[in-house]
Chain A
Amino acid sequence: MATYVAKPVAPSEDKRWKLVDAAMRRTGQQSRGLIETLHAVQEAFGYLDEDSLRYVAMSLRVPLSQAYGVATFYHYFTLRPSFAHACTICTGTSCHIKGSAALLTTAKRVLGLESSKVTPTGSISLLSERCIGPCALGPVVVYDGQIAAAENARELADHLRSWIAE
């Protein structure tokens, strides 16, 4: 028997929820729009928090466990706020062959990171990604969304130090 479920109320007055609502409407307010909706949330807010997951799950009528499962299954979704700067080192096959492992080691050393992906102050994040595509230019490093080709350890260290100095 169909039961009437009131439309959940957005977690806050923030206008950005309208964007999220629009994304849900585009996919017909159906559970299969879950990933599209989470993309919309992350685009609007930078990350997915518990409130947003609850709101999306209730709106699309999927179990919260499924929404959380999807949010954690895919690498692209993040459950924590973004950082002032993000450095991504490509570790795809081609970049690996051309020495991206050494770049990663350098980046960890400069940022003082062991395994954690965020600097102690929480301002710079270091990620590695398996192949971002411009393989001919490797090893490739992405600084805040800007692709830099054929990086060497010194260029990388200089760039990261300039961020630290800010």
Chain B
Amino acid sequence: MTAEKLAQIAKGEQETQSRLTDVVNVCVASGCLASKSDSVKQALESELADRGLSGRCQVKGVGCLGLCAKGPLVSTRSGAIYKKVNIGDAREIVDHLGREPVARLLLPTDVPFFEKQTKIVLENSGIVDPERIEDYVAADGYSALSHVLQQMTPSQVIQEITKSGLRGRGGAGYPTGLKWSTVAKSVGTQKYVICNADEGDPGAFMDRSVLESDPHRVIEGMIIGAFAVGASEGYIYIRAEYPLATRRLRVAIAQAEQLGLLGAHIGGTPFTFRIQIRVGAGAYVCGEETALIASIEGKRGTPRPRPPYPAMEGLLGQPTLINNVETYANIPPIIRHGGAWYAGIGTETSKGTKVFSLTGQIRNTGVVEVPMGVSLREMVFEIGGGIPEGRQFKAVQTGGPSGGCIPAEFLDTPVDYESLAKLGSIMGSGGMVFMDESSCMVDVAKYFMDFCMTESCGKCIPCRVGTYQMHRILTAITNMTATSADLKMLEELCDLLKHTSLCGLGQSAPNPVVSTLRSFAAEYKAHIEEHKCPAGVCSKTMGVSA
């Protein structure tokens, strides 16, 4: 695969598309598929076929258009987005092609949900067909790889990534350039590149959306990473709960192999790189990098102490670069536009954009990409569209079971790694769950503790026994049978787990409890002293199994 060949494919594809009078894009990511977007796509296709327009107008399956709550979503070349489309609407949509859009179905795009977004990772989502490499190439795809192979040395690539200020998007925010240079410097007979697609935080689905919408972007990022650190083998570890994303990745890898973008002598250079997929088997702890590596090795997914870090001793004891899906997805645009361009977006310490999934009690549930540093208030009331049914905003939970609940008084906090950490929460992978006054914060804390208790791998005692004990106390509180001594014990356990657990799961398991104790102490008190739940969620009769 040479640059000329790529340009040829891009040109051919662009010409084919310019010959079409119109294109109807139908979202075929999991969200819209669940509301039967595939049958909408078929209906549109047969409507066009009936009118003999099949050759001139294409119905294209594309990735996520963002506003999953209003699915199935359909868009046309003119930029109109239609919401909640069903089979019966196909005729009307085709009728209005090339004319003014169907007002009845139109989703306004001049609203903050769309206007406040800056799309870098999601620039192709909802535009390219995730199952056709030609479409990705036509959208400048693999041009970053081609540039890297022909005009850059590995150390120049790492310099560019360092200059961009990109930090790991999996949650911890470790500087990506620094990680890459550590792996590049490590000595080993064989180096590996791993993509962590084990997106386990409940309520987080950004990575699924990226993989289902634009899988080639992640693959391109991995190949560039492998070139930079000197790796020849790569793995994508994806959770078994994402069958569609897995299938699209397999298709994408096969297509890239066919074009010689993966395999031996990529782009006519000595550089060789192959990617294999490893499907997880349902263990949240495998999102932790050492546990993930153990799982790829065919073992139980239990973490081990670090150091040595995977950058020195990772998969099969060899230096291993392990990054999250979104981190790799940021690489091609950084190479294309330069590190300085990327560093110009975001805040002082958190550069670029971040993809978030908005869920819970919020109007605009879906996937958004915003520059780092937007305030939580903008996320809730502008991009998120506010809390439905006239209820009051109570808290936003970020970072999944490792994160915390942020109350209304901190809504003006900017969304970046440091600010969220200061509030006792974390950026995490990007799940944001919004809650209104109908949510009981003790119940929420119990929910997350139940999660951590179930998902604890059992290797270290603080996590295995501590999460059980904390869950027991939280259950007692929600059953109105706890005493103030229990509360004191709960606080002690928070401290103990944080400081003595082996891995991130146990260390951060107390976060939801700590953050709710800090901001919603009155609710705990009401359960313990007055035996009542202010939100009306908990009752004495709920029982232990609830």
Contacts and interface: CB of A to CB of B under 8 A. Distances in A.
A73 B297 CA distance: 15
Contacts of B359: 93-94, 97, 135-136, 138
Contacts of A75: 281-283
Interface stretch (B27-35, B127-135, B172-180): B27-35
Contact of B202 (A69, A115, A131): A131
A46 interface: no
B196 interface: no
Contact of A129 (B201, B205, B241, B546): B241
B334 interface: no
Contacts of B427: none
Contacts of A140: 34
B240 interface: yes
Interface string B425-468: 00000010101000100000001100100110100000000000
B541 to A, nearest CB: 12
Nearest to A148: B34
Nearest to A150: B35
A137 B31 contact: yes
Contacts of A138: 359
A98 B365 CA distance: 12
Most buried by B among A39, A93, A96: A93
A33 B296 CA distance: 8
Contact of A134 (B34, B280, B454): B34
A138 B69 CA distance: 9
B434 to A, nearest CB: 8
A153 B404 CA distance: 30
Interface in B225-242: 240-242
Contacts of B281: 35, 38-39, 74-77
Interface stretch (B39-47, B102-110, B298-306, B345-353): B298-306
B357 interface: yes
A93 B433 contact: yes
Contact of B34 (A94, A131, A149): A149
Interface string B1-37: 0000000000000000000000000000011011100
Contacts of A34: 298-299
A36 B278 contact: yes
A35 B68 contact: no
B317 to A, nearest CB: 12
Contacts of A136: 31, 68-69, 71, 359, 365-366
B384 to A, nearest CB: 12
Interface in B248-306: 278-284, 295-301
B475 to A, nearest CB: 13
A140 to B, nearest CB: 8
B282 A76 contact: yes
A62 B279 CA distance: 20
Nearest to B366: A136
B546 A101 contact: yes
A49 to B, nearest CB: 17
B385 interface: no
Given A75-B281, A93-B431, A131-B201, A32 B297 contact: yes
Contacts of B451: 130
A147 B281 CA distance: 20
B35 A137 contact: yes
A115 B546 CA distance: 11
A93 B203 contact: yes
Given A93-B447, A96-B447, A132 B31 contact: no
A133 B208 contact: yes
Given A35-B281, A137-B31, A149-B35, A73 B202 contact: no
B514 to A, nearest CB: 17
A66 interface: yes
B360 interface: yes
A20 to B, nearest CB: 15
Interface string A22-38: 00000000111111101
B151 interface: no
Contact of A94 (B202, B240, B241, B284): B202
A76 B279 CA distance: 11
A15 to B, nearest CB: 23
A96 B546 CA distance: 11
Interface string A126-162: 0001111111111010000001110000000000000
A94 B433 contact: yes
Nearest to B244: A133
B68 A92 contact: no
Contacts of B295: 35
A31 B34 contact: no
Contacts of A76: 240, 280-282
A97 B435 contact: yes
B279 A133 contact: no
* Most chain A beta carbons < 10 A, residue from B31, B69, B201: B31
B361 A97 contact: yes
A70 interface: yes
Interface of B: 30-31, 33-35, 68-69, 71, 200-205, 208, 240-242, 278-284, 295-301, 316, 357, 359-361, 365-366, 397, 400, 431, 433, 435, 439, 447-448, 451, 454-455, 457, 545-546
Given A34-B299, A70-B300, A77-B282, 6 more contacts: A35-B278, A74-B280, A94-B203, A130-B202, A131-B241, A136-B359
28 contacts: A35-B298, A36-B278, A69-B300, A70-B299, A70-B300, A75-B282, A76-B240, A93-B203, A93-B431, A94-B202, A94-B365, A94-B433, A101-B546, A130-B202, A130-B284, A130-B455, A131-B201, A133-B208, A133-B242, A134-B68, A135-B359, A135-B365, A136-B365, A137-B35, A137-B68, A137-B71, A140-B34, A148-B34
Nearest first, the 8 A-B pairs at minimum CB distance are: A74-B281, A136-B68, A92-B202, A75-B282, A34-B298, A136-B365, A131-B202, A76-B282
